[in-house]
Amino acid sequence: MRGWSFPLGRWFGVHIRVHVLFALLLLICVVSTDLPGLPLWRGLMLCGLLFVCVVLREIVRLVAASYYGVHLRSILLLPIGGLVSYASPDSAERAQTGRAQTVIAISGPVASLVFGAIFAGLILGAAPQAPVFARPWVTPEHLLRSLVWLNAGLFAVHLLPAYPLDMGRLVRAYYIRTQGATQAAKSASQLSQVIGATAMVIGLVLLAVPNVSLTEEISPWLIMGGFFIFIGTQLEDQGVMVQSIVDTVRMKDVMLTEFSTLSPSDTLSDALHKAIHSLQDDFPVVRGQNLIGVVSKQSIVQALRQDGDSYVQSIMSRGFQLAQPDDSLGLVIRRIDSGRMPLIPVAEHGRIVGIVSLQNLRTGMMLLAEHRRLQREQ
């Protein structure tokens, strides 16, 4: 999810990221303000309103997921909604089965419809003469009216059976029951790409129809919506593929078995000297065969600069979490990505046998994939 996105922090325990497609939409909205006497900030506000609509529906989906015990790890915000990753395989399985799946899927469209109706009611109540149903429905000239119809548009879009849209998730669940998980992913992806491509083609055809205001208004949104669906499908496919890989790889497959350790009685100057001759950024601190802490190169250098020489035990972190050799890599990645610690020691029968960090994970995964490929060819 990190590619082509930027973080917005952690809300309610869930990491929120915004895809750069919002920047593309922002540019389109700014260009759409190229009207006489229309200030630039209205185009910016129009994109901001869509962002608010997306956030509101994702909050409702988050509440629905929490109600059924489904814990989310992160949400990637796109102009058509959010792509989620689950905190654990158990949560992923729970979200894709039974009543929880249906409720979570329909909560998004229902939220958009309800919020659109609420905004329309508030506008008509405060100003009965307001042209809520006038055209164009979405325009920087009338932001309050646009707020109503942006929610209506999100409601309509998520009724399409395109994955990863909400109704598309239900279609994919049906494919899983009838075709199996592997074929279901392929069928759902193909259907979604066909729907996205069809929407873009229809939008381009409508642009060619002259002097029809309705087609001129709808066609740009069809083109953008189809494009966002197409991209969203690709992102979801990548996420599912990566998740399926990391949950089958074990710690013993990628952990470093040759690594340096420090003693709590080592001085910081001795630790720095050892760090110079090591590729590790983080070191386990052991007393005998027992792991008692973790320390990083950066913390060693900072302590030497600020307080002078002392002992490793004075700056080491004691908040580490041990992993087992048979733990899944997916679990380890979630631990590292949650910010708990940059290094995961791997222990067996109380003895440290390896370490895993983001530093060695990338190269380790590539080498493991190549090793498995060579084994299959033999």
Give the model confidence (pLDDT) of 211-227 as tens digits.
Answer: 655 566 777 778 888 88
Tokens of 310: 């002392």
Q: Which CATH class is domain 251-377?
A: alpha beta
Task: Measure the CA dihedral 102/105/108/111, to 10°.
Answer: -10
pLDDT in tens, 116-151: 999 999 988 888 888 888 888 888 888 889 999 999
**All structural domains of the chain with their residue ranges:** 251-377
Triad 326, 330, 336: Cα angle to 5°? 105
Q: What is the mean pLDDT of residues 187-200?
A: 87
Of 237-241, 290-294, 338-342, give the lowest mean pLDDT range.
Answer: 338-342
Whether 34 shows a pLDDT value over 50: the answer reads yes
Looking at residues 157-178, what average pLDDT do you find? 86
Q: Report which secondary-structure segment, H or E, holds 327.
A: none
**Residue closest to 90 by CA, chosen among 105, 68, 75, 108:** 68
Written as six digits, the tokens of 167 are 């109704």
Identify the CA nearest to 253 among candidates 124, 366, 163, 146.
Answer: 366
Interval 327-352: pLDDT, tens = 877 766 666 555 555 678 888 877 88
**Which pLDDT score is estimated for 82?**
87
Q: What percent of the chain has pLDDT over 90?
A: 20
- Residue 1's pLDDT is what? 44
Pairwise CA distance, residues 182 & 187, whole Å: 9
- At 18-30, the pLDDT tens digits run 988 887 787 777 6
Tell me the pairing of strands 72-78 and 14-19. parallel
Average pLDDT estimate for 12-38: 76
Q: Look up residue 214 and give its amino acid.
A: L
State whether residue 146 is helix, strand or coil. Answer: helix
Per-residue pLDDT reduced to its tens digit, 258-284 = 888 999 999 999 999 988 888 888 898
Angle at 52 between CA 217 and CA 231, to 5 degrees: 65
User: How do residues 85-108 score in pLDDT, each as one tens digit?
Assistant: 887 767 877 887 778 889 999 999
- Backbone angles phi and psi of 176, in degrees to 5: -60, -40
Residue 37 backbone class (left: φ over 0; alpha: ψ -120 to 50; beta: rest)? left
Q: Work out the end-to-end distance of the chain between its first and last CA atoms, rounded to an integer number of angstroms.
A: 35
Q: Is the model's pLDDT at 296 over the cut of 70?
A: yes
Average pLDDT for 47-70: 92
One-letter identity of residue 78: L
Q: Are 176 and 167 in contact (CB under 8 A)?
A: no
Percent share of the chain, pLDDT over 70: 85
d(CA 271, CA 258) in angstroms, rounded, equals: 18
Secondary structure E strands in the chain: 5-11, 14-19, 72-78, 81-86, 282-287, 290-296, 343-348, 351-357
